[in-house]
Amino acid sequence: MLEVRHITLTLEHDRETRTLLDDVTFTVSPGHLLAIVGPSGCGKTTLMKVIAGLKEEDEGEIRWQGRDLAEEGDLHPSELGYVPQFSIAHELLTVEECIESAVALRTQLPDDEAVDALITKTLQQTGLTPLVDRPVKVLSGGQKRRLGLALELVTDPALLLCDEVTSGLDPKSEKEITHLLHELSRNNPQRIIINVTHSLTNLQLYDTILVLHEGRVVYHGPPRALQHYFSVEQAEDVYPKLARRSAERWGDSWKRHRDSYYATYGLAAVDPADAEIREPGREKLPSSMSADEEDDLEEDEVAALEVKSQSKRGKKEEEKPKKKQHEHDIAEEYEVPSFLSQTRELLSRRWLIFKRDKAQMWLQLAMIFGFPLLVVIFGFDGVPQVRTLSQRQNSNLITEAKEQSDYLTSLLKAGSLVSGLILMQVVLVTLMASNNAAREIAGERDILERERLGGLRPSSYVASKVLFLGTFVTAQSLWMGLFVEMLCPGVPGNLFIKLALLFMASAAMTSICLGISGIMRSPEKSTILCIYLVGFQLPLSGAVLALPKSLEPIFQPFIAAFWSWSGSLYTMKDTAFYEAVKKVTASTLESPSLALFVLSIHVTIGLVMAYVGTKRSQWD
Q: What is the C-alpha to C-alpha distance for residues 524 and 537, in angstroms, rounded to an integer?
A: 21
- The per-residue pLDDT for range 424-479, each reduced to its tens digit, is 999 999 999 999 999 999 999 999 999 999 999 999 999 999 999 999 999 999 99
Q: What is the C-alpha to C-alpha distance for residues 149 and 103, in angstroms, rounded to an integer?
A: 13
Q: What is the C-alpha to C-alpha distance for residues 480 and 257, in angstroms, rounded to an integer?
A: 75
Residue 398: its pLDDT value, please? 63
> Which of 270, 100, 87 minimizes the C-alpha distance to 162?
87
Q: Higher pLDDT residue, 382 or 527?
A: 527
**pLDDT for 322 beyond 80:** no
> Which of 611, 601, 610 minimizes the C-alpha distance to 530?
610
Q: How far is CA 239 from CA 170, 266, 316, in A?
A: 21, 26, 34
Q: What is the C-alpha to C-alpha distance for residues 365 and 9, in angstroms, rounded to an integer?
A: 51
DSSP for 310-322 reads: HHHHHHH--PPPP
- The per-residue pLDDT for range 239-281, each reduced to its tens digit, is 999 999 999 999 999 999 898 888 888 887 665 555 443 433 3
Residue 310: its pLDDT value, please? 45
**pLDDT for 364 beyond 90:** yes
Residue 377: its pLDDT value, please? 87
Residue 419: its pLDDT value, please? 81
Considering 160-174, 205-219, 549-563, 568-582, the range whose residues carry the highest mean pLDDT is 205-219
List residues bridging with 243 in a β-sheet. Answer: none
Q: What is the C-alpha to C-alpha distance for residues 194 and 62, in angstroms, rounded to an integer?
A: 15
Average pLDDT for the chain: 85
**pLDDT for 25 beyond 90:** yes
**pLDDT for 550 beyond 50:** yes
Mean pLDDT of 25-32: 93
- The per-residue pLDDT for range 71-102, each reduced to its tens digit, is 887 789 999 999 987 768 999 999 999 999 99
Record: fold of 2-79+161-319 = Rossmann fold (3.40.50)
Q: What is the C-alpha to C-alpha distance for residues 537 and 560, in angstroms, rounded to an integer?
A: 7
Q: What is the C-alpha to C-alpha distance for residues 437 and 516, in angstroms, rounded to an integer?
A: 9
Q: What is the C-alpha to C-alpha distance for residues 20 and 216, in angstroms, rounded to an integer?
A: 9
pTM given for the model: 0.86
Residue 184: its pLDDT value, please? 94
Residue 378: its pLDDT value, please? 83
Mean pLDDT of 2-11: 93
Q: 383 falls in which pLDDT band (50, 70, 90)?
A: low
Mean pLDDT of 590-616: 96
Q: 574 falls in which pLDDT band (50, 70, 90)?
A: confident
- The per-residue pLDDT for range 50-61, each reduced to its tens digit, is 999 888 899 999
Mean pLDDT of 19-44: 93
Using a 10 angstrom Cβ sphere, with 0-12 exposed, 13-18 middle and 19 or more buried, the burial of residue 343 is buried
> Which of 498, 488, 368, 381 minimizes the C-alpha distance to 428?
368
Q: What is the C-alpha to C-alpha distance for residues 31 and 187, in angstroms, rounded to an integer?
A: 8
Domains in the chain: boundaries? 2-79+161-319, 89-156, 339-390+399-615
Q: 386 falls in which pLDDT band (50, 70, 90)?
A: low
Q: What is the C-alpha to C-alpha distance for residues 543 and 463, in angstroms, rounded to an integer?
A: 34
Residue 280: its pLDDT value, please? 35
Residue 276: its pLDDT value, please? 41
Q: How far is CA 570 from CA 226, 383, 402, 584, 598, in A?
A: 80, 17, 30, 14, 15
Q: What is the C-alpha to C-alpha distance for residues 516 and 552, in angstroms, rounded to an integer?
A: 24
Buried (b) or exposed (e) across 206-234, using 16+ Cβ within 10 A? bbbbbbbbbbbbbbbbbbebbbebbebee
> Which of 445, 617, 454, 353 minimizes the C-alpha distance to 83?
454
Instruction: 289-292: list long-range contacts, CB under 8 Å, 24+ apart.
Output: 289/257, 289/260, 290/228, 290/229, 290/230, 290/231, 291/229, 291/230, 291/231, 291/250, 291/253, 291/254, 291/257, 292/231
**pLDDT for 409 beyond 70:** no
